């Protein structure tokens, strides 16, 4: 069976609080671990997407509306829907690991790093589709 979930692959969360949100796979675990005996992946995604920006808005308002709220999570493969898209974020791999979820301060620090990288990517105009909410 081919490996669908590779680092950098974009997926959609199907279940839970973040259902319908786009995520990028950071680390996959096909066999599971001792504490999580099911196939799962560590993902980072956008909890709150940036708002629409127009030419008439000032720089202060544009900066406020261009903010991204990220989240990191360990998700079961059965709760993910893979897409054909990929996001090349080399910096994310070193930021989030399995040990990040043990302590809240580590989690917050990694969220800040992810927020910085995602906002830089959004402001550069790369991967615009990743920063738009799904339409139903």
> What's the CATH number where 16 sits?
2.30.30.770
Cα angle: 69, vertex 41, 87; to 5 degrees = 55
- Residue 123 covered by a domain: yes
- Residue 95 covered by a domain: yes
Question: Could you tell me if 71 and 42 are in contact, meaning their C-beta atoms sit under 8 angstroms apart?
Answer: no
The confidence score (pLDDT) of residue 2 equals: 63
The structure's pTM equals 0.85
Question: Could you tell me if 11 and 25 are in contact, meaning their C-beta atoms sit under 8 angstroms apart?
Answer: yes
By residue range, what is the domain housing residue 27? 9-131
The confidence score (pLDDT) of residue 84 equals: 92
Q: What residues of the chain score a pLDDT lower than 50?
A: none
Q: In whole angstroms, how far apart are CA 127 and each of 39, 69, 87, 95, 131?
A: 28, 16, 8, 21, 7
pLDDT digits (tens, 9 = 90+) for 95-121: 877 777 888 888 898 899 999 999 898
- Residue 62 covered by a domain: yes
- Look at the chain and report how many structural domains it folds into: 1
Question: Could you tell me if 118 and 68 are in contact, meaning their C-beta atoms sit under 8 angstroms apart?
Answer: yes
């Amino acid at each position: 069976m081919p490996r669908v979930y590779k680092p950098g692959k974009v997926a959609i969360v199907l279940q839970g609080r973040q259902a319908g949100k786009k995520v990028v796979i950071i680390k996959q675990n096909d066999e599971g671990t001792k504490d999580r005996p099911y196939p799962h992946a560590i993902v980072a995604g956008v909890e709150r997407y940036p708002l629409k920006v127009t030419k008439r808005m000032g720089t202060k308002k544009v900066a406020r509306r261009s903010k991204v709220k990220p989240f990191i999570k360990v998700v079961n493969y059965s709760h993910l829907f893979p897409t054909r898209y990929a996001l090349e974020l080399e910096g994310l791999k070193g930021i989030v690991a399995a040990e990040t979820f043990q302590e809240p301060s580590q989690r917050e620090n990694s969220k800040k790093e992810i927020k910085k990288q995602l906002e830089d990517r959004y402001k550069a105009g790369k991967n615009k589709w990743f920063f738009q909410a799904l339409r139903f």
